[in-house]
Structure 1
């Protein structure tokens, strides 16, 4: 399985299409909000998407839970969970959702960590990265019957910034 996670593209519809076209082998695409596009914009190409604090189309959901085979994904932008200060509120919500993966944006800082057997992933920003980070998105890849997964942070031209290995036990 291969998942692509984007966030905080802030009006740059073409960068969404660029990543989509580069990652055609992906099974699922997620956008964690602040696209500043309408919900039905053609650039989303069937991406699962949520509302960020800079998205104003009421068709966006704040949070979505998606089942992918035997894994559950909780996706949100993060601003409603105070993620710039702590992941505690987001962790509580992820626990309530019984999520395996938690995808969020908002801070424009890429990062991945495992908390309570859950992968928390922020892909960074493809347009406005902060703290000297490169423009980025993320992919999460794993074999169907495996607990081990790999997270790649990539630049808009698909160069790998970093690679991280994690183990998430199936529930």
Structure 2
């Protein structure tokens, strides 16, 4: 396992792997939900069962990422960033973590409100949360779960645009901090 190195300018290998696993899982999960949107019954379950399992995966990976970040702080930001850029980056990351916890927990809570656990890719059953069997509450919670995806998409867009701005306009090699094989300036 890597040790803390406060003088490095790249994220650790663990942080990079967790970042990309979560990013891929979020994109795949969004596509699974979109595919199931207008289906019902067994046809919807083909997409929703892996969607729920992947949601649990995002939750676990996010908790691991937060723990890793607390134990192994990220490299410092470029000192040339404007104050607003630093503040926006910190805000976006904080809200990312909140949403990457809240969205899967709400999905799990909604599923639990219908009296079900989550089948984790056929390997084991994640038990339902200890909540009342209340489909009306489940509908409301799943609505919130879906609604929170809009700010997540906006944040993903801001995150990508920010990284591209720093890489191609500021030419500071920002992508090299998180993409293996890319060098820094």
Q: TM-score, normalised by structure 1?
A: 0.27
- Higher helix proportion (structure 1 or 2): 2
- Higher strand proportion (structure 1 or 2): 1
Pick the structure with greater CA Rg. Answer: 2
